[in-house]
Structure 1
Amino acid sequence: MRYRVAVTTIRDLARLADVSVATVSRVFNNPEVVSQETREHVLRVAARVGYQPNESARTLATKKSYMIGLIWDTDHRRPGWRHPFLQEILIGLKTALSERGYHLLLLATSEREDSDKDVYLRAVKRHNLDGVVFIDNGTRDPALDVLAASGVPCVSLDRPVSGPRTTYVTSDNVGGARSAVARLHARGCRTIATITGPVRTRPGAERLDGYRAELAALDLPYRPELVVEGDFYLAGGYAGMRRLLDLPHRPDGVFVAGDEMAVGALRAITEAGLAVPEDVALIGFDDIELAALVPPGITTIAQDKAGFGTAAATALVEMIDSAEDEAPPPTVLPTTVVLRGTA
């Protein structure tokens, strides 16, 4: 059923939703203090009648823009935007911020000079942003350090940051990698290799640390020739697996530090006429949708993708709402083993 009444004020909406004006105000200004049931009810009624909150009035009343900046390397030479895991993270982040009344604005600054260390801070001021989320791309950009030191609330994904109002969200990369190696060992694998992510990134480095730690715990030797650096993408996994299969004594188990690379590695194994997991067992990391669709299904270490967005949004809004120069502690999300056909 659709309402035929023209709704232009918050009082009209409150009457139609059978709630108080204060409740409607909270739904649009401070949704976290309203129960999910009430929030969804008010938003359903608002959608039916085409009600739009007065953003200008809300901004003046709260001195907030309700805009969050997203900083990620947008250089056209980098394929980062198409990575399925990061796409799912962004969806979770956008959803979590929207539930709290915030919008997400992409800050694309890839054409700047490297010496321009204030570029992000200027963008924040120009757009009157309440806070910023940035994603690790493996570089140590001085402009991000300047932004973090400025006092602007910042949350980083997979990258430690230092500043008065900064924190970060990451996964238990070390523990997840250890679980992967332990799973391969439990299957009977004794020559366990790894295709890492870029070791300049925190996830790439920590997953390699976890691989080495679990080998030591299992009293298996660390052999440098069994470690191939990848790039988190299909081609890197394919090329890395080809290198491992060319060894005089090929591995019987491989921990691949990203599912998209694991798909490429799986292709290389099957092209070599080998069976998975009988000849080579394989386990990935991330639990992207494709991992379940590629036969026989890639065993993987699942990250909490929705949890990334929720944790980042919660931490950022907490800092924005706080009058103090303080930040919540970093969030380390647990990982879980998802068993499928490759290991």
Structure 2
Amino acid sequence: MNIRELARRSGVSTATVSRALNDRAEVSEATRARIRQLATELGYAPNEPARTLVRRRSDTIGLIWDSGQEAQGLHNPFLLGLLSAVRTALSEADYHLMLLTTAGAEEPDGAYLQAVRRHNLEGVIVLTTPPDDRCLRTLAASTVPCAGIDTAFTGPRTVRVSSDNAAGAAAAVQHLHELGHRRIATVTGPLHLPPAAERLTGYRRACERLGLPVPEEYVVEGDFFLASGEAAARGLLALPDPPTAIFAAGDQMAIGAMHAAADAGLSVPQDLAVVGFDDIDAAALVRPALSTVAQDQRALGEAAVAALRSLLDAGPGSVQDLVHSYIVPTRLLVRGSSRRP
């Protein structure tokens, strides 16, 4: 079934069929309804490549997920939830999603840009990709509209969306301080990633404001995954003056810290309080349930799509008048892993 056959059976021209299926005003409501009903009955589907050529639009947004992190990312519940939130927000805005990947160092600097042009993509959403990625820098320097979630990059048509990482970390430290803790350590994420660096900044600022000492050994870098949190906590608990509380920059690392405490014969929260970041599903399932800083995944996805649509609607000439940074609030969820020692 093609548009010519649909026009023949409808008794109208192919131009009228095209206008009806694209909600053009030149077609009466009765004709539009009749053509659409017949198209449904006959199983007609538009030729998308042809429509793209005619309309010069693909209604498709590319999603870039750091190729170096993909294998780990597939096991990261927060990133998977964020990906789902982006997909939902795009679908509600009537956009398709195309996942773009590269092979890393073997790819030319313009690999992302070539893919965008090859598939005639409207724009790109970048998910937690390091800002020093050379393919990303080339893309950001072009005129392609780009919205980055937890990715710091700059270009003529770029915008950044992120949670309020620093404020969330500060709230966790404030909570632990109010419980009476004065020796509060942190397990960070990879510090070349903006969310990890911002959470460390929030932790340090809160400690400084509260007059809490931060020995160098109280800051340990992890990788957002459970094993790194467990290893970091094991080292912290072995210190001559171990912390009484740990703020981990990711829930999986926080759960790993709870494992290390149990292995050391310590009780959470009586001997060690633990607070995480993200609020993944497992945070409420472990025992004791994990106190954490919750990120709003749906709001992040919706903000990224809204920001990208603003760039698309504005066009290259008036981008300077748009907001180039969207910050989504976080909230502290107090559960059983943190209470007065």
TM-score range, shorter chain: 0.7 to 0.9
What one-letter code is carried by the residue in structure 1 that aligns with 2:223? D
- Is 1:295 matched with 2:287? yes
Report if aligned partners of 2:295, 2:331 keep a CA contact under 8 Å in 1.
yes
Name the SS for the 2:125 alignment partner.
strand
How far apart are 1:90 and its partner, in Å?
0.5
- Is 1:304 matched with 2:291? no
Residue in 2 that maps onto 1:332:
327
Instruction: Work out which of the residue numbers 177, 191, 206 in structure 2 matches 1:199.
Output: 191
Name the SS for the 2:147 alignment partner.
strand
What one-letter code is carried by the residue in structure 2 that aligns with 1:334? P
- Is 1:135 matched with 2:127? yes
Residue in 1 that maps onto 2:84:
91
Deviations 1:192-217 (A, max 9, x none): 11011111111111111111111111
Deviations 1:218-260 (A, max 9, x none): 1111211111111100111110110111111211111011001
- Is 1:108 matched with 2:66? no
How far apart are 1:57 and its partner, in Å?
6.3
Q: Residues of 2 paired with 1:24 and 1:65: CA distance? A: 14
Residue in 2 that maps onto 1:79:
72
Deviations 1:270-291 (A, max 9, x none): 1111111110001000011110
Residue pairs, 1:96-245, within 5 angstroms: 96-110=89-103, 113=106, 116-138=108-130, 140-245=132-237
Q: Scaled by the length of structure 1, what TM-score is found?
A: 0.83
How far apart are 1:79 and its partner, in Å?
0.8
Aligned residues: 306
Deviations 1:41-70 (A, max 9, x none): xxxxx9999785664565355421111111
Residue in 2 that maps onto 1:255:
247
Residue in 2 that maps onto 1:70:
63
Report if aligned partners of 1:73, 1:110 keep a CA contact under 8 Å in 2.
no
Report if aligned partners of 2:85, 2:301 keep a CA contact under 8 Å in 1.
yes
- Is 1:269 matched with 2:261? yes
Which stretch of structure 1 is more off in the superposition, 320-329 or 121-130?
320-329
Identity of aligned residues (%): 48
Report if aligned partners of 2:63, 2:100 keep a CA contact under 8 Å in 1.
yes
Name the SS for the 1:90 alignment partner.
helix
State the structure with more CA Rg.
Answer: 2
Q: Residues of 2 paired with 1:262 and 1:159: CA distance? A: 23
Deviations 1:156-186 (A, max 9, x none): 1112221111101011111000000001111
Which stretch of structure 1 is more off in the superposition, 52-61 or 168-177?
52-61
Name the SS for the 1:132 alignment partner.
strand
Q: Residues of 2 paired with 1:307 and 1:321: CA distance? A: 21
Deviations 1:284-323 (A, max 9, x none): 0001111011111100000111111101111112222333
Report if aligned partners of 2:268, 2:337 keep a CA contact under 8 Å in 1.
yes
Q: Residues of 1 paired with 2:177 and 2:235: CA distance? A: 22
What one-letter code is carried by the residue in structure 2 that aligns with 1:158? D
Q: Residues of 1 paired with 2:330 and 2:131: CA distance? A: 25
Structure 2, unpaired ranges of 5+:
1-5, 11-18, 25-38
Q: Residues of 2 paired with 1:182 and 1:76: CA distance? A: 32
